C-alpha cells in the first residue's frame, strides 16, 4: 500500500499540487460569490488525480479545502472529506481507463458525482441544516418549502446539481490535459492514463469544450427557473 501511495508522487506532482489548489480555491470562491448552483472547486483535484494518481488527488482535495477554510472561508473546511473522495475516485476512474475519451470522462464525472453526493449529504444535514452558502441551497430551500423533509431535500438537490458540476469539472480537467504539450504531461507518474483513444487529441478537446458549454447553459437555465419560480 505504501509503495502504491509513493508511486503517485514525484517532483512534478509536488509542483502541480499547489497550482491545482490555487485553481480550486480561485474558481470555487468566484462560483460561491456568484451563487451559482454548481461548485467547480475540484478542477485542480481531478487534474492531479488523473496525471498523478488517486492518493495525490485525495491529498490535493483535502489541502484545498483546509487551506480555503483557514485562509478565506471557514465554511469550506468541513467539506474536506468530500474533496478527498472526489480526488480519490477520479484517480481510480482514470486508472480503470475512464479518462481516455470524452464519453468516458462523462462517465467518470457521473461516478464522482454519486460519490460526492453520498459523502456530502450527512455533512450538509448535520452541520448546516441543509442550507449552505452554495447557490445549490436555493434548490434545497425550495424543496423544503414544498414540504419535503430535510434529508429528501438535500439528497434531491445533490442528485440534481452534482452530475452537472462533476461532469463539467471532469470535462474541464480533460480539456486542460489535452491542451498541454505531450512533453509536459509525460513527466507525471500516471501520464499514460491521459492518453486519448478514439480520435485525435484536438478533436477530443473540441468535444470536451462543447459538452462544457452545454452543461453551463443547462446550469444557467436551471438557476433562472428556480429564481424565477
Question: Bigger pLDDT: 164 or 12?
Answer: 12
| DSSP assignment letter at 129 | T
- d(CA 145, CA 128) in angstroms, rounded, equals 17
pLDDT at 53 over 70: yes
Question: Helix, strand, or coil here: 198?
Answer: coil
CB atoms within 10 A of CB 151: 13
Rounded to whole angstroms, what are the CA distances from 209 to 144, 173, 205, 219? 35, 10, 6, 15
What whole-number distance in Å separates Cα of residue 33 and Cα of residue 214? 22
22 grid coordinates: 490555487
Give the span between the Cα atoms of 143 and 44, in whole angstroms: 32
Radius of gyration of the chain (CA): 17
Domain assignment of residue 72, given as a range? 2-228
For residue 224, the model assigns a pLDDT of: 64
Determine contact, residues 140/131, Cβ cutoff 8 Å. yes
CATH number, domain with residue 200: 1.10.1760.20
Residue 221 pLDDT exceeds 90? no
Tens-digit pLDDT profile for residues 137-179: 777 877 788 888 889 888 888 888 899 899 999 999 998 898 8
Q: First vs last Cα of the chain: how many Å apart?
A: 51
List the grid coordinates of 172.
474541464
Q: What is the pLDDT of residues 123-134, one digit of tens each?
A: 999 998 878 878
Q: What is the pLDDT confidence band of residue 206, given thresholds at 50, 70 and 90?
A: low
pLDDT at 227 over 60: no
Can you tell me the distance from the alpha carbon of 43 to that of 83, in angstroms, rounded to the nearest whole number?
A: 11
pLDDT attached to residue 61 = 98
Q: How far apart are CA 41 and CA 21, in angstroms?
A: 9
Number of domains into which the chain is organized: 1
Amino acid at each position: 500500500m505504501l509503495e502504491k501511495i509513493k508511486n503517485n508522487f514525484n517532483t512534478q506532482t509536488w509542483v502541480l499540487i499547489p497550482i491545482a489548489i490555487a485553481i480550486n480555491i480561485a474558481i470555487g470562491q468566484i462560483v460561491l460569490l456568484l451563487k451559482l448552483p454548481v461548485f467547480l472547486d475540484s478542477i485542480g483535484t481531478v487534474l492531479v488525480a488523473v496525471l498523478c494518481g488517486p492518493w495525490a488527488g485525495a491529498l490535493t482535495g483535502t489541502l484545498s479545502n483546509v487551506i480555503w477554510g483557514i485562509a478565506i472561508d471557514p465554511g469550506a473546511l468541513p467539506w474536506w472529506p468530500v474533496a478527498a473522495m472526489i480526488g480519490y475516485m477520479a484517480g481510480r476512474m482514470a486508472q480503470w481507463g475512464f479518462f481516455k475519451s470524452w464519453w468516458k470522462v462523462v462517465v467518470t464525472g457521473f461516478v464522482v458525482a454519486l460519490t460526492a453526493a453520498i459523502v456530502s449529504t450527512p455533512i450538509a444535514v448535520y452541520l448546516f441544516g441543509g442550507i449552505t452558502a452554495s447557490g445549490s441551497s436555493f434548490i434545497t430551500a425550495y424543496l423544503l418549502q414544498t414540504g419535503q423533509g430535510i434529508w429528501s431535500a438535500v439528497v434531491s438537490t445533490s442528485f440534481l446539481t452534482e452530475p452537472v458540476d462533476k461532469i463539467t469539472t471532469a470535462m474541464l480537467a480533460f480539456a486542460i490535459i489535452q491542451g498541454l504539450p505531450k512533453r509536459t504531461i509525460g513527466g507525471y507518474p500516471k501520464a499514460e492514463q491521459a492518453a486519448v483513444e478514439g480520435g485525435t487529441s484536438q478533436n477530443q478537446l473540441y468535444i470536451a469544450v462543447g459538452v462544457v458549454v452545454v452543461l453551463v447553459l443547462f446550469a444557467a437555465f436551471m438557476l433562472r427557473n428556480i429564481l424565477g419560480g
